[in-house]
Amino acid sequence: MDDAILFIPERPASKSVVYETTRGNLFWIRNRIVHTPHWKLGCLPGVMRGWVIRQCRQWNIAVREGRNTLADIQDSDAVFRTNALIGVAPIGAIRGLGRWATEHPLIRRLRRAIREKITGGTGAAGGFRRGAPIPDRFPA
């Protein structure tokens, strides 16, 4: 499915300030550092965005939130977007900007951590085992 990057156009185009995608928050990995636009620039703070930033910092992976341009993304090792419905989704290409590997160790690690958080490590949605009775109340 197509997506688009939201940015403020500048001349030259490579200097355009990046905010997010039409379907979620934008991240890219370059030189073992995770980059994302700062929410104060106008992008949505995003629940999944916050989780990814906290998780990376917990794993001692540097995260830089800032004022970034299209040129900052071009030389990245990997690019991905996040939202509460899809979690973490790699971006393989952005027309006119570049192509990136969709298989990256950090993206795989983040996706695995989300899956474990959702399933409680059991592999079943909500952390429940298949065939287990559904409780009357969910834990707070």
Domain boundaries, the chain: 5-127
pLDDT at 36: 93
CATH fold for the domain made of 5-127: D-amino Acid Aminotransferase; Chain A, domain 2 (3.20.10)
Q: What is the pLDDT of residues 18-75, one digit of tens each?
A: 767 778 888 999 999 999 998 887 778 889 999 999 999 999 999 999 988 888 888 8
Contact by Cβ (8 Å): 70, 95 = no
DSSP characters over 4-70: -EEEE--SSGGGPEEEEETTBEEEEEETTEEEEE-GGGTS---HHHHHHHHHHHHTT--EEEE-EEH
Contact by Cβ (8 Å): 24, 86 = yes
